[in-house]
Amino acid sequence: MLLKKILHISLPALSGFLGLILFDVVDIYWIEKLGGDALSGVAAAGFIVWSLYSVMNVTGGGAASLIAQYNGAKDKEKAWDTAVQAVSLSIFISLAVTSIVYPNMSLFFDLMGLTPETSAQAISYFKILICGFAIMYLDMLGGIIFNAYGDNKISNAIMFVCLVINGVLDPILMFGWLGFPEMGIEGAAWATLIGHFISLILRYAILKRRAYIPPFKDFLTIRHHLYKKIVAIGFPNAATSWVWSIIYPILTRLIAPYGMVHVSAVGVCHRIESFPYYTAVALGIAMTTIVGNAVGKKQTEEIDKITYTGIRIGTIISLPFAVLFMIYPEYLMKLLTTDLKLISAGVSYLRIIGICEILMAWELVLGGVFTGIGVTGPTLLITVPTTLARIPAAWFLAEYCGYGVNGIWAAISFSTALKGVGLLILYRHMRKKRNLANFTFERKIYA
């Protein structure tokens, strides 16, 4: 019964992510035709985009946890109120981030040590996405609300349709097909933003029709009494993701002296690695929803069973990917590029990353459990230090020990292992010290 419930939520989420991955691969296919500078520029911009996605977790994580708990408690009014306040908070945050990042974006790419040509391509791509950050933020939040209710099939169908639109628009806007002006790398960014906008409109319409959110007029009234609770749950997840995302621009500065081909390889390999990553993210979404519902129904004795079932599923699913990365990486790289130097650079990355791929699944599954419970603060003690440690570890292995770029890949892989094992130890420690009936500590959502 539990396995069926996990699969019922995670499989639709995974199908949506697979669509996202496939069209990300299509993006890379077309962008590669613009040349190596464009490909490296998008890879560099991707690190900053990931930092923006991490900011979304400030409201996303809190909204997911609270809506799942209120839905489990059959309290529609509080679930609606959470959605309304998450939307207004998301708008405030996205506008603040845009106003800070846009005038300073060239500084971020300068700090990466990119060549002038690569930096110019990165800025051309990124400036369009940062202007549409609010649209991307609200679109993400709409998907999270669907997930919190355990109903993500229609949301993923919307995502897939919009990704098709994105994939079709890519070559049209980039190369000036069908009479459109040739926009180059900016065309790829516009295609992405248009896809998010259409997705946002469709998600809002379906959420309203299914009564997952209140009428539009409710969103015009700004209320903020849940802001603190939303941020308290979401901020630790956001901080973890943000630290992870800013580490890569710094690592890029360590990678760049070994050749821009390695920067490009990271961008391509992240597309390949996204298959096991998003599989684990889908499991994490299921954990958040199911654990959150258990808390809402006051069935906290089920949390242990849910957690270890999720870990077992994550291990079984990620094992084949780990084997592929370590044994057949060149075949995976050849699916995305014919550049022999790029293939060679990617092969070394995938082989080293594959060693700890299973533990990445543990990290994401356990992260979903803590979010569902509504206790995310303690996870910072594990995730932030281990992620920050990538920088000195990468320098030590690459420069001091003389392992070169492979030392950087080893630092990334080892820190992933530490996070997976560390979160499991933290969970077991908290489980041992506190009866599961009191696992939510003082963070009770009921008056």
Q: How far, rounded to the nearest angstrom, does the alpha carbon of residue 337 sit from its chain's CA centroid?
A: 24
**pTM of the full predicted structure?**
0.73
Of 111 and 185, more confident:
185
pLDDT score for 19: 67
Percent of the chain with pLDDT over 90: 39
Report the alpha-carbon distance of residue 178 to residue 192 in Å, rounded: 19
Mean of the pLDDT values across residues 336-355? 90
Percent of the chain with pLDDT over 70: 95
CA geometry: angle at 350 spanning 283 and 13, to 5°? 20
For the CA atoms of 237, 241, 244, 249, the dihedral, rounded to the nearest 10 degrees, stands at -150
* 437 pLDDT more than 90: no
pLDDT score for 444: 44
CB atoms under 10 Å from CB of 297, counted, come to 14
pLDDT per residue over 323-332, tens digit each? 999 999 999 9
pLDDT per residue over 26-82, tens digit each? 777 788 788 878 888 887 887 788 778 778 888 888 888 899 888 888 888 999 999
Of 79 and 250, more confident:
79
CB crowding 305-338: b at 16 or more within 10 Å, else e = ebbebbbebbeebbeebbebbeeebeebbeebbe
pLDDT score for 18: 72
**Residues making up the chain, counted from first to last:** 447
Q: Which of 3-7, 56-60, 124-128 has the highest mean pLDDT?
A: 124-128
Q: What is the 3-state secondary structure (H, E, C) of the chain?
A: CHHHHHHHHHHHHHHHHHHHHHHHHHHHHHHHCCCHHHHHHHHHHHHHHHHHHHHHHHHHHHHHHHHHHHHHCCCHHHHHHHHHHHHHHHHHHHHHHHHHHHHHHHHHHHHCCCCHHHHHHHHHHHHHHHHCHHHHHHHHHHHHHHHHCCCCHHHHHHHHHHHHHHHHHHHHHHHCHHHCCCCCHHHHHHHHHHHHHHHHHHHHHHHHHCCCCCCHHHHHCCCCCCHHHHHHHHHHHHHHHHHHHHHHHHHHHHHHHHCHHHHHHHHHHHHHHHHHHHHHHHHHHHHHHHHHHHHHCCCHHHHHHHHHHHHHHHHHHHHHHHHHHHHCHHHHHHCCCCCHHHHHHHHHHHHHHHCCHHHHHHHHHHHHHHHHHCCCHHHHHHHHHHHHCHHHHHHHHHHHCCCCHHHHHHHHHHHHHHHHHHHHHHHHHHHHHCCHHHCCCCCCCCC
pLDDT band at 445 (very low <50, low <70, confident <90, very high): very low
The type of residue at 74 is: K
Report the alpha-carbon distance of residue 173 to residue 183 in Å, rounded: 6
The overall average pLDDT reported for the chain is 86
* 435 pLDDT more than 60: no
pLDDT score for 23: 64
pLDDT score for 135: 94
Q: Which of 298-312, 327-341, 350-364 has the highest mean pLDDT?
A: 350-364
* 194 pLDDT more than 50: yes
**What is the C-alpha radius of gyration for the chain, rounded to an integer number of angstroms?**
21
* 334 pLDDT more than 80: yes
pLDDT score for 392: 94
Q: Which of 3-12, 148-157, 248-257, 389-398 has the highest mean pLDDT?
A: 389-398
* 203 pLDDT more than 50: yes
Mean of the pLDDT values across residues 407-428? 94
pLDDT score for 20: 65
Mean of the pLDDT values across residues 274-300? 85
pLDDT per residue over 149-163, tens digit each? 888 778 878 888 888
pLDDT score for 441: 40
